[in-house]
């Protein structure tokens, strides 16, 4: 475990919770509000258009949190950049260089082995958590030196895993003693407490944070989450080539039939329908939206602070009853 120990991070958290890093959703406002409210605020570095913008974001978030801490007299929760380590991310090394200058306390890696970034991030004092979708991936990430594992279970939004969370957590806990983060289906404090009882140290909450005022998600996206339930979430490989949880109503709105999508293959959205110029065609993530099974828990669009306060109340009552 690195200088920034999990215990040290937990001491600054109101809840054992991470506002999950979400493509085109997690921005400066959401991350800053999450950290100021006492939960870890995460964001994909590729949400920034360039490494220079990433540098600017980190400076801006740090400034906001410093002002928040001065005003409240309390330490804020950590900021957590999320690095896509897949070979398709041509910015990886440039983004990593930015992070090394800012020396974050925690970094999450996605879509591949963390092996190439663990050593430099450790040298900078960061904990490295790797998201994984299978037992084999978990074993490899642990062997590569990851300090913690984020288990993408059935029901998580975006590109996700397929394993039942009960089976996945218990199997990984049998060989991994480090921090485990449960991703998938966490929409309230009761579920968060259940993740702890299962053997997790932290949990992701993603879908619920999409429908907050600080989220950069399209307002139609937020409204669709309020109107939808878990029955409206479709697991498909058609859009990205990997199993991805998407909202059926958004697929319909894009002019596609959710029940007649290719089995696999990162389709070009709109290729089978007449919707005009290529530039006007709806795009995955921007127009065809992701959500997890926690969609059933989205009933309003509060501020991040209000959502965290509500979740803390639910979590506290669940702890008292356990």
Same domain, 233 and 202: no
- Tell me 258's DSSP state: G
CA–CA separation, 210 and 43 (whole Å): 12
CA–CA separation, 53 and 169 (whole Å): 36
Surface-to-core class of residue 300, CB atoms within 10 Å of its CB (0-12 exposed, 13-18 middle, 19+ buried): exposed
**pLDDT higher than threshold 60 for residue 280:** no
Residue 285 has a pLDDT of 65
Average pLDDT over every residue of 107-118: 96
In a domain, 122, yes or no: yes
Q: Phi/psi at 256 (nearest 5 deg)? A: -115, 155
Tell me what the pLDDT averaged over the chain comes to: 91
Q: Hunting for tokens 């039942």 — which residue is that?
A: 164
pLDDT per residue as tens digits for the range 197-246: 999 999 999 999 999 999 999 999 999 999 999 999 999 988 888 889 99
The residue with greater pLDDT, 199 or 280, is 199
Same domain, 109 and 173: yes
Structure tokens at 56: 């600017």
CATH number at residue 67: 3.20.20.70
Q: Hunting for tokens 């639910």 — which residue is that?
A: 314
Same domain, 196 and 233: no
Parent domain of 92: 6-215+298-321
Beta-ladder partners of 149:
130, 180
**Contact by Cβ (8 Å): 136, 145:** no
Least confident of 43-52, 152-161, 174-183: 152-161
Same domain, 159 and 73: yes
CA–CA separation, 190 and 290 (whole Å): 23
Inter-residue long-range contacts of 310-314, CB under 8 Å, 24+ positions, other chains counted: 310/188, 310/189, 311/15, 311/17, 311/188, 311/189, 311/192, 311/205, 312/14, 312/15, 312/38, 312/189, 313/189, 314/188, 314/189, 314/190, 314/192
Q: 127-132 and 180-183 as β-strands: parallel, antiparallel, unpaired?
A: unpaired
- Tell me 263's DSSP state: S
Structural domains of the chain, count: 2
- Report the share of the chain in percent with pLDDT over 90: 80
Same domain, 162 and 275: no
Residue 275 has a pLDDT of 32
Surface-to-core class of residue 196, CB atoms within 10 Å of its CB (0-12 exposed, 13-18 middle, 19+ buried): middle
Same domain, 163 and 97: yes
Confidence tier at 283 by pLDDT (50, 70, 90): low
Residue 10 has a pLDDT of 86
The residue with greater pLDDT, 141 or 278, is 141
Q: Hunting for tokens 């398709």 — which residue is that?
A: 88
């Amino acid at each position: 475990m690195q200088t920034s120990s999990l215990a040290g991070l937990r001491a600054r958290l109101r809840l054992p919770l991470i506002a999950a890093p979400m493509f085109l959703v997690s921005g400066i406002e959401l991350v800053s509000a999450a950290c100021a409210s006492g939960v870890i605020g995460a964001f994909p570095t590729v949400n920034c258009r360039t490494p220079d913008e990433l540098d600017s974001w980190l400076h801006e978030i740090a400034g906001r949190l410093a002002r928040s801490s001065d005003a409240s007299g309390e330490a804020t929760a950590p900021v957590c950049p999320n690095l896509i380590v897949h070979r398709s991310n041509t910015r990886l090394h440039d983004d990593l260089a930015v992070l090394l200058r800012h020396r974050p306390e925690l970094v999450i890696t996605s879509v591949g082995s963390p092996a190439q970034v663990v050593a430099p991030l450790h040298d900078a004092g960061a904990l490295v958590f790797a998201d994984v979708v299978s037992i084999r991936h978990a074993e490899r990430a642990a062997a590569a030196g990851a300090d913690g594992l984020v288990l993408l279970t059935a029901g998580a939004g975006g590109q996700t895993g397929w394993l039942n969370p009960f089976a996945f957590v218990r199997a990984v806990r049998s060989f991994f003693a480090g921090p485990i983060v449960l991703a998938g289906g966490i929409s309230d404090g009761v579920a968060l407490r259940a993740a702890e009882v299962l053997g997790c140290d932290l949990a992701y909450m993603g879908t619920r944070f999409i429908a907050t005022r600080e989220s950069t998600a399209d307002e139609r996206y937020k409204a669709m989450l309020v109107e939808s339930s878990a029955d409206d979430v479709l697991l498909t490989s058609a859009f990205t080539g990997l199993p991805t949880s998407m909202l059926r109503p958004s697929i319909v709105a894009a002019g596609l039939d959710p029940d007649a999508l290719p089995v696999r293959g990162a389709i070009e959205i709109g290729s089978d329908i007449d919707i005009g110029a290529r530039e006007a065609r709806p795009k995955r993530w921007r127009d065809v939206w992701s959500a997890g099974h926690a969609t059933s828990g989205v009933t309003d669009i509060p501020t991040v602070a209000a959502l965290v306060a509500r979740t803390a109340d639910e979590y506290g009552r669940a702890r008292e009853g356990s």
